[in-house]
Structure formats: C-alpha cells, structure tokens
Structure 1
C-alpha cells in the first residue's frame, strides 16, 4: 500500500493507476485515502441519496404509527420508523466524511434536499392510504432495497460497506415485518384481501422504477464507471431481474395479481419479460412532482427547522466544553 508520502511524489496518472490497482486487488478505500475526484463525487451522490431516502422513506410509514390496527403492530412500525431514521443518520455521517475536504457538511446536504438538488427514491414520493400499503412497503419496497444494498456489501469504499452490513441486517427484520402484515391480510376477510390487492396494484410501477431505467443494451457511463470502481457490481436491469425472480411467484402464490398481463419468465432468454413503467413519469417523480413529494419535503423541512434549537444547544455546549 502506498503511503501518503509516496502518493505526493506521483503524477496524477500514476495515482490513478495505483488507486485502480488497489481496487483490483480487493483492497478497501478509507475516508482519508487518496481517491480520484469522480470516485469521491459518485460516492457522495450515491450515499447522500441513500441516506436521505432512508429518512424520507420513514415518512409514509410514520403516517401509520397512530393508525396501526393493534398495539403490537403500532410498536413494530414505530421501531421500524426509528430504524430507518437511524440508517439515514449513519449514512449521512459517511457522506460527511467524503464532503469534508470539499468544505461541505450535513447542513449542505439538507439544504440541497429542500431546494430540490438532492433527490430521493421514487417510492417515497408515493401515497400510503391504507394499512396494506404499510405491509407492501415493508415486504416489497424494503425487499427491493435489500437487493440493491446487498450488491454493495463488498463496495470498494470501506465506510459505506461497513454501514451497509449493519443496515442490511436490520432491513431483513423490516421485510419480515412487512411480510407478516401482508400474510395476515391475504388470509383475512374479502375486504382485507381486496385492500392488499389494491396496494400491490398501486405500488407495482413504482417497484419496477425503484432500480432505475434500463440500459437498452448499453451500460450508462455512470454505471460503467461505478462498476469499474467497484462501487456497484450489477446494472439496474440485473437488480430488477433479481427482484422479479424473488417476488413474482410469491405474489402469485398469495392469490394476488399484477397489473401486467404480459409478465412471464422467458426460459430461452433466462429473464423476466414485463411491461415497462412510464419512465417519463419516473423522471417527474424524482424531480419532486410525485403524489406526496411536496408534503413529505415540507414535513422534513419543518422538522429540521423545529429541531434547530437542539443543534444550537449542542454546538454551544461543545464550544464551552472545548
């Protein structure tokens, strides 16, 4: 491994070659190691979006904390909301270390969120009008997240990989929580079964969009670069196919249908064939034009404003103690 002194004596091209060689050997990059600017920027973009999505993703389920049907369900969904907020804080801390050399901090990230520069996952712009939505979010949305996050468990950036190991362990419990709700509704009354079917139908296009647009046979430049840097190991479509492999038959097994009469597994191609969602709608949603985008962003902004006195008090105490 090159020391900082060694790196100072290298040209930019030599630094890049040494960096890529480290990654190819399976070595992990730490926050204080030398890294290319685009590696740092891609990590900041990915990890900050992931962290903000964890926080924003707690809001649809937060709506159901006071309305959960039993005390046990209320305690379970409260714990899940708390976990998701914790995941977001953990990831934003990882992003902060990357941003520090650029003179930026967590407050900059949140300002980027409030001004629309920082995006969050499309699924968390959507409505959750029934208890079945809480089940589908836990079972299928968190299931999709686990597939994406598992891909990055061996990320070349060590702080992100360490955070993901903790997050994925907790997300498995979240998926089990959602599956428990779904199974209870699937075995319930006719009205409960219909409520579940309506939720699955409502969420299906968003679930397909979760992994991002397909490449149409061409890996986009960002994906290609991130795979070269070993930040990610699979394309959007490969992740979507993994999701379909895991969940389509389970959905059908519960007696539910999908809003796609074309969906089937092509044995010859060894992949699922499905109806593409409206990717123009996807672009509008992530830009902040989704069904609940403005309400969720305003709620997050109000929470940030109302907790300002806590941050000020902590900073003041730190200055006195220091």
Structure 2
C-alpha cells in the first residue's frame, strides 16, 4: 500500500470473494433501487461485484491517465516560451499528479491497493487514455493538449461527477474545478498561436492535424461497439454514452476552432442542424485498439519513465511507511 485509502482486511476479502460468486438478488434489487433514487453508494455499502469491478477499472484507468498525462507536458516545462508559460505549465503538471493521487485514493476504497494498481500499470495489464501515447513535437502540441484534450476530459468528468459512487464523484468535483483553469491556460496559448505570425499559425495547424484523430478516439469506441457503457450507465457510473460525449465536445469546440481561422482535417465534419448531431469520418478504431494495447508511438517510453520513478522512489516510500526501519539507501 502506498498511501491513504481503505484497503480490505482478510475478512472483507473473503466476503468479497463470496459476493463475486453470487450476488444476492434481494440486495441487488435494493442496490438498484438506491441508484434509481439518486443516492450515492459509499465504500462500506453493499454493491454488486460487477459494479465494484467496473468502478475499479474506470477509476484506476483515470488515475493512470492523470499521471501518464503529465509526462508529455512535463518535458516542455523548460522549453515553454516565456517565464509565464513555464510557471503555468509547472502548476498544471503539479495539479495533474494531484488528480492522480485523489483518484488512486478513490479506487483504493473499493479494495484494490495502490501498489497493485501501479504494478498493473507497469505490466501493461491496466490501461490509460490513448491520447497520452503520442509525442508532443512542438509547443503547439502542448497547446492543443492544454486546450482540446483538457476540454474533452472536462466533458467526460463533469458528466461522471453526477454519478453514483460517492468517493469518485467527490474527487471529480475538485478535479473539474482545477481542470477549468487548465482549459483557460490552454485556450489562451491556443489563441496566441492562432493569431500570431504565419509560422506560428502553421505550427498550430500542423498540431491540430496530428491530434484530431487521437482526440476523436478519446471518448472511446462508438456506442454500438462499447462493451462496458450500457451497464455502467444503468448503474450511473457513466452518465453519458461515448457518442453523446463526443457530440457534445464537437458542439462546444469546433465553432471555437473555426472562429480562429483554423481548419480540421476531416472534410466530412459537419452538424445536422435538424438533429443536432455531428457527422464525421469514422476514426481508425483498429489504430485505437493498437495504441490502447501498447502499440502506440510512445507507449514503451511512457511506461519506462514510470518504471524509473517506481524504482528510484521505492526507498522514500519504505521510509515513509516504516520510519523506524533501518535506513535504506537510494538507488544509485
């Protein structure tokens, strides 16, 4: 265990195993009635084993995404243009790491230790968002991340903050407040490039072209292909479908991009004013699966960095968790 959070003791572990074998239908009906009434489920409450499993998967992946997501931007702290941008990027990266801590704590309340979560990340068993497996080649890439990827994340998180599991919802409320500042920072930098020199505008356009498909992938597979969405929505773990969130994002941000004179690399992208739905070229879902499963441009690099941090920080964690133990020398 790395830090705060509720970890199941042995009796609770045995109880969980029994629940996994058979969910009591009476308790299940009571649980679903509470969900229907809009009540929050808390860590000590009875919950179906599948609800617990899906929450662990969702929150753990979100936590990993916050930690891994700090890496591409973190490499630009020393190269950001001007002292103001450097300070803003430092603050943002610090916030993202803090978000990861909040989310790991929320996931721990469901019975999985942080150590197990980190081990599953490093082994490739646990996933994180596809967008963080692409390189930030220029300052414009960082700007697109700060504006559009953070915007996409806010669309997802604001919806899920109204969900059924109390610890996750409370963590998301705080995260959304801080992400709104990140969005303002990204929007400001985006505007500066879009209204700057021809070279700056072209750099931004190139970054938009590179990132558009990963952004469209961000919300996950279309509803017809999603294996988790229906049950998650029934239990109010997710509050909107993948396609609905993607459409909401397009509705909010495509006009902002076009107002600044930028274009998007999809000639099929247009809104049906009658239905309110956007049509677009279907992104390459085979590529999405490849990236999610470890075959993206930066998957190996991202996990290598986290492995290095895990190894070189182990002595600090041991000292914090057992301060009376013999001194442990840091890794050379």
TM normalised by structure 2 equals: 0.89
* Aligned match of 1:158: 166
1:89 is the counterpart of 2:95? no
CA distance in 2, matches of 1:186, 1:268: 31
Shift of 1:215: 2.3
* Aligned match of 2:110: 98
Shift of 1:187: 1.4
CA distance in 2, matches of 1:232, 1:214: 15
1:296 is the counterpart of 2:308? no
Measured against aligned partners, the alpha-carbon deviations of 1:158-185 in whole angstroms (never above 9, x if no partner) come to: 0000000000000000011101111111
1:147 is the counterpart of 2:155? yes
* Aligned match of 1:17: 29
The alignment partner of 2:176 has SS state of: helix
Runs of 4+ in 1 over 6 A off after TM superposition: none
Preserved CA contact (<8 Å) 2:32 2:235: yes
* Aligned match of 1:206: 214
CA distance in 1, matches of 2:156, 2:307: 27
* Aligned match of 2:4: none
* Aligned match of 1:73: 85
* Aligned match of 1:8: none
CA distance in 2, matches of 1:65, 1:221: 38
Measured against aligned partners, the alpha-carbon deviations of 1:251-303 in whole angstroms (never above 9, x if no partner) come to: 11111111111111112332111011100000000111111111111001101
Q: Which one of 173, 183, 193 corresponds to residue 201 of structure 2?
A: 193
Q: Which one of 262, 273, 284 corresponds to residue 268 of structure 2?
A: 262
1:123 is the counterpart of 2:135? no
Query: How has the CA–CA distance of structure 1 residues 289 and 64 changed in structure 2, closer, same or farther, with 3 Å as cutoff?
Result: same
Q: Which one of 179, 183, 187 corresponds to residue 179 of structure 1?
A: 187
CA distance in 2, matches of 1:171, 1:28: 24
CA distance in 1, matches of 2:258, 2:45: 49
Q: Which one of 235, 247, 266 corresponds to residue 229 of structure 1?
A: 235
* Aligned match of 1:4: none
* Aligned match of 1:169: 177
Shift of 1:97: 1.4
CA distance in 2, matches of 1:233, 1:159: 16
* Aligned match of 1:272: 278
1:61 is the counterpart of 2:73? yes
Corresponding pairs, count: 304
CA distance in 2, matches of 1:115, 1:221: 23
* Aligned match of 1:249: 255
What's the RMSD between the two structures over aligned residues?
A: 1.4
Long gaps (5+) in structure 2: 1-22, 327-332
* Aligned match of 1:41: 53
Preserved CA contact (<8 Å) 2:319 2:325: no
